[in-house]
Amino acid sequence: DAKTTQPPSMDCAEGRAANLPCNHSTISGNEYVYWYRQIHSQGPQYIIHGLKNNETNEMASLIITEDRKSSTLILPHATLRDTAVYYCIVRARGFQKLVFGTGTRLLVSP
Amino acid sequence: EAGVAQSPRYKIIEKRQSVAFWCNPISGHATLYWYQQILGQGPKLLIQFQNNGVVDDSQLPKDRFSAERLKGVDSTLKIQPAKLEDSAVYLCASSPRLAEAYEQYFGPGTRLTVT
């Protein structure tokens, strides 16, 4: 039941910015955009979330378009440890279920 | 703070056998989740507890899967009898309180292989 579309894979050179797109054209007004990532053999890790304003934390930045139909997760200076599967999820706050799609497999290379 | 603990990390069983997984959430976290992740797919929620009550078990195959969270802390997930298609990683996650649970903290998972 995932409501998002992401490219299956992306490559990025170490030290460069990684820009991961997500399409969520059917997002509702009360739904937030969440990003999680899953490094190999680990459980998913929360990265960031937002409603309509751009957000930034120590891990990444989240840019949400004005119409909220798409967003981009930005890792400003990718490292080899950022190699992971990145999941974009839309979910209403207070409704706890996370519905994961297949995500984007990001490979950061030297 | 200590993270979500799960055991065992790996388990190999034959089909029709039973298996149990254990999860210890982060201290003070009221909400606990069990997910199933099949190779190449994203995690799928099996069951969600708020304290020791079930909030959502709509995707739990109740003919063979069961879960409990006694005393609202630790939880166990059981499969009996196991089928080949149950081979997956079983992830446990927890979050502080239902209303503020935008962030879920995941354990390392238990990798189950059914032969």
Look up residue A17 and give its two tokens. Answer: 């910015």
Residues of B in contact with A41 (CB under 8 A): 108
Surface of B (22-81) touching A: CB under 8 A: 31, 33, 40-45, 48, 55-56
Q: Which two tokens stand for residue B79?
A: 């499969």
Shortest CA gap B81–chain A (Å): 26
Residues of chain A with C-beta less than 8 angstroms from the C-beta of B95: 96
Tens-of-pLDDT digits for all 115 residues of chain B?
689 999 999 999 999 999 999 999 999 898 899 999 999 999 999 999 988 899 899 999 999 999 999 888 999 999 999 999 999 999 999 988 655 556 889 999 999 999 9
Q: Are A46 and B103 inside 8 Å of each other by CB?
A: yes
Query: Does A43 contact B42 at a Cβ distance shorter than 8 Å?
Result: no
Question: Considering Cα of B85, then B91, then B92, then B98, what sign does the dihedral take?
Answer: negative
Top residue of B102, B105, B111 to mutate, by most chain A CBs within 10 Å, is B102
- CB within 8 Å: A43 and B106: yes
**What Cα–Cα distance (Å) separates residue B114 from each residue in A10, A97, B34, B61, B102?**
32, 27, 19, 16, 33
A11-40, pLDDT tens digit by residue?
999 999 999 999 999 998 888 999 999 999
- The phi and psi torsions of B63 (rounded to 5 degrees) equal -75, -20
- Picking from A80, A24, A87, A91, the residue whose alpha carbon sits closest to that of residue B37 is A87
Closest-approach residue (CA) in chain B for A85? B42
Task: Using DSSP, state whether A88 is helix, strand or coil.
Answer: strand
